[in-house]
C-alpha cells in the first residue's frame, strides 16, 4: 500500500475523531450549564463527559500521529492533538479542584482549538493529497 493511499484513508478518520472530540467538548459546556442550574443530570454528565473527552483525545492523537508519520501528512495536527489531550487532563484536574477561574477559560480554549481543527479538516484542499513528483 502506498503512502498516498494511507494518507487518503487517514484524513477522514482524523476528521471524524476531531468532530467527535469537538462535540464532546460542546456537550461538556451543556453539562456544566446544567450544574450551574442545579439540574440533577449536570454533575454526573460532566464527570462522564470528562472521561469521554479523554478517550476521544487519545484516539484523535493516535490517528493524527499516523496521519503525520507513516502517511506523510502535516505534523501540526499531531502536536495540536497532543496539546488538546494534555489540556484535557489539566482541565479535569483543575475542575476537580474547583478552580473555576482557570477551568472555564481553559475549556473555552479547548473549544476554540478544536473548532479550528474542525474547520481545517473540512476545507477541501486539505482532503486532497498531491501526487509524488516524477523522478
Give the residue, 131 or 44, on which the prediction is more confident. 44
So what's the pLDDT on residue 4? Answer: 47
Tell me: the pLDDT tens digits for 56-100?
A: 999 999 999 998 888 778 888 999 999 999 999 999 999 989 898
What average pLDDT does the structure give for the chain? 86
Nearest Cα neighbor of 41 from 32, 29, 50, 53 is 32
Q: Is 131 left (phi over 0), alpha (psi -120 to 50) or beta?
A: beta
Question: CB of 67 within 8 A of CB of 14?
Answer: yes
pTM: 0.82
Amino acid at each position: 500500500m502506498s503512502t498516498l493511499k494511507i494518507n487518503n484513508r487517514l484524513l477522514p478518520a482524523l476528521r471524524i475523531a476531531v468532530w467527535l472530540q469537538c462535540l464532546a467538548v460542546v456537550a461538556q459546556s451543556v453539562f456544566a450549564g446544567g450544574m450551574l442550574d442545579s439540574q440533577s443530570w449536570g454533575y454526573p454528565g460532566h464527570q462522564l463527559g470528562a472521561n469521554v473527552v479523554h478517550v476521544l483525545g487519545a484516539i484523535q492523537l493516535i490517528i493524527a500521529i499516523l496521519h503525520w508519520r507513516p502517511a506523510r501528512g502535516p505534523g501540526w495536527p499531531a502536536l495540536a492533538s497532543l496539546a488538546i489531550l494534555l489540556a484535557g487532563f489539566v482541565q479535569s484536574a483543575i475542575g476537580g479542584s474547583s478552580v473555576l477561574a482557570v477551568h472555564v477559560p481553559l475549556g473555552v480554549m479547548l473549544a476554540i482549538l478544536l473548532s479550528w481543527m474542525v474547520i481545517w479538516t473540512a476545507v477541501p484542499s486539505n482532503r486532497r493529497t498531491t501526487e509524488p513528483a516524477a523522478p
